[in-house]
């Protein structure tokens, strides 16, 4: 703990810049406590508040631009990668699509304040081909708000934060162990939430080859796209698919019909949740599509553009 505090005092800009860069790239680092300490240091005259804010913004924009480029180059594969390496629940893609569909690039102003959505929003901007200039402007503004809040709080509550830092430093090894234990608990809670979510939506899946065969044979079935309409318009959807709302409304009179639900997220979480709702509504034969729309596209099967 003493070492961390010493780094902040001796190398405030490098410490803040590196921590923010790694955190925005996806490393689960607790940046906010560090920025609070940096704000306290700025109040004490050990660093420039404006310089610390600029450092944090530049580091965040560099990391976000990397995810933007990944989204532009890899498409939805970048989003899947983000959710696979993230310890946040896999619903992050759908949540971000919801926000991005309503607010566009303006969503970057608040995305960093919502756990698990910051990097996904920047990658989604690249996937959807948002203009680079607009992306950089909104992303920098959002990064300034995100970093500015804890820096300002560090200035306002410098006495309390300074006392906590001093106490932890005085505790020496025990203080470091306390910080590590708190961080480990945070990670453990995230992992537990993820496992509980995956257990909740565990059910039999149907493969893309099996679904394609059913369609070729003309078997009676309904296909439900669990993604937002805006996401469906980007890369198309499986022929004949309905939106989730259309599926619920149109299929109520056919509860025994085979229903296949798909999405574009790891572990088919969104699709499985829609499937659970359909089962609760009385449908008896409902399965998510293994691999979702990406597996269908990778297999080379036909896609249709939504109207």
Work out the average pLDDT over 300-306.
82
Query: Residue 133: its pLDDT value, please?
Result: 94
This prediction's pTM: 0.64
Query: Residue 171: its pLDDT value, please?
Result: 47
Note the pLDDT tens digit of each residue in 117-133.
777 788 888 887 889 99
Edge-to-edge order in the sheet of strand 221-225? 242-243, 221-225, 258-262, 286-288
Helix (H/G/I), strand (E/B), else coil: 292: helix
Q: Could you tell me the two tokens for 31?
A: 């940046």
pLDDT, greater one: 92 or 301: 301
**What is the distance between the alpha carbons of residues 160 and 33, in angstroms, rounded to a whole number?**
13
pLDDT at residue 188 is higher than 50 = yes
Report the CATH number of the 208-298 domain.
3.40.250.10
Q: What percent of the chain has pLDDT over 90?
A: 17
CA distances from residue 72 to 32, 46, 69, 131 in whole angstroms, order as listed: 29, 40, 5, 11
pLDDT at residue 232 is higher than 80 = no
Out of 137-146, 206-215, 240-249, which region has the weakest mean confidence (pLDDT)? Answer: 240-249
Query: Residue 66: its pLDDT value, please?
Result: 93
**What is the distance between the alpha carbons of residues 2 and 150, in angstroms, rounded to a whole number?**
21
Query: Residue 95: its pLDDT value, please?
Result: 61
pLDDT at residue 31 is higher than 90 = no
pLDDT at residue 206 is higher than 80 = yes
Query: Residue 262: its pLDDT value, please?
Result: 87
Note the pLDDT tens digit of each residue in 131-187.
999 999 999 999 999 999 989 988 887 676 655 555 545 545 555 556 566 666 766
Out of 36-45, 101-110, 119-128, 244-253, which region has the weakest mean confidence (pLDDT)? Answer: 244-253
Residues facing 286 on adjacent strands: 259
Note the pLDDT tens digit of each residue in 262-287.
887 656 667 777 777 777 777 778 88
Query: Residue 176: its pLDDT value, please?
Result: 54
pLDDT, greater one: 72 or 193: 72
Instruction: Identify the CA nearest to 266 among candidates 294, 230, 237.
Output: 294
Mean pLDDT (the chain) is: 77
**What is the distance between the alpha carbons of residues 120 and 150, in angstroms, rounded to a whole number?**
22
Residue 217: count of CB within 10 angstroms of its CB: 7
pLDDT, greater one: 27 or 18: 18
Query: Residue 141: its pLDDT value, please?
Result: 95
Work out the average pLDDT over 24-48.
81
Mean pLDDT highest for which of 10-24, 54-68, 89-103, 263-277? 54-68
**What is the distance between the alpha carbons of residues 254 and 269, in angstroms, rounded to a whole number?**
24
Domain ranges of the chain: 2-200, 208-298
**What is the distance between the alpha carbons of residues 46 and 219, in angstroms, rounded to a whole number?**
72
Confidence of residue 225 (pLDDT cuts 50, 70, 90): confident
pLDDT, greater one: 236 or 260: 260
Q: What percent of the chain has pLDDT over 70?
A: 66
């Amino acid at each position: 703990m003493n070492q961390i505090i010493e780094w902040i005092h001796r190398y405030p800009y490098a410490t803040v810049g590196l921590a923010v860069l790694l955190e925005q790239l996806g490393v689960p680092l607790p940046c906010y406590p560090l920025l609070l300490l940096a704000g306290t240091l700025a109040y004490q005259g050990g660093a420039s508040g404006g310089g610390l804010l600029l450092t944090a913004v530049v580091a965040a924009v560099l990391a976000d631009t990397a995810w933007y480029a990944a989204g532009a180059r890899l498409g939805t594969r970048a989003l899947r990668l983000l959710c696979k390496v993230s310890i946040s629940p896999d619903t992050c893609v759908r949540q971000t699509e919801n926000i991005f569909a309503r607010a566009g690039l303006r969503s970057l102003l608040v995305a960093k304040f919502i756990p698990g959505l910051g990097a996904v929003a920047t990658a989604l901007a690249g996937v959807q081909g948002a203009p680079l200039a607009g992306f950089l402007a909104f992303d920098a503004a959002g990064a300034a708000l995100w970093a500015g809040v804890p820096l300002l709080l560090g200035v306002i509550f410098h006495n309390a934060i300074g006392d906590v830092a001093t106490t932890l430093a005085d505790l020496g090894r025990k203080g470091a162990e306390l910080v590590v234990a708190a961080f480990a608990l945070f990670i453990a809670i995230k992992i537990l939430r993820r496992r509980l979510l995956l257990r909740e939506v565990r059910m039999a899946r149907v493969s893309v080859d099996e679904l394609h065969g059913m369609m070729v044979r003309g078997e009676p079935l309904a296909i439900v796209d669990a993604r937002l309409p805006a996401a469906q318009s980007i890369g198309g959807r499986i022929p004949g698919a309905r939106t989730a709302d259309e599926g619920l409304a149109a299929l109520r009179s056919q509860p025994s019909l085979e229903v296949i639900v798909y999405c574009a997220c790891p572990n088919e979480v969104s699709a499985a949740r829609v499937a659970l709702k359909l089962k609760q509504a009385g449908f008896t034969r409902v399965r998510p599509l293994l691999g979702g729309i990406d597996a269908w596209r990778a297999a080379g099967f036909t896609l249709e553009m939504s109207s």
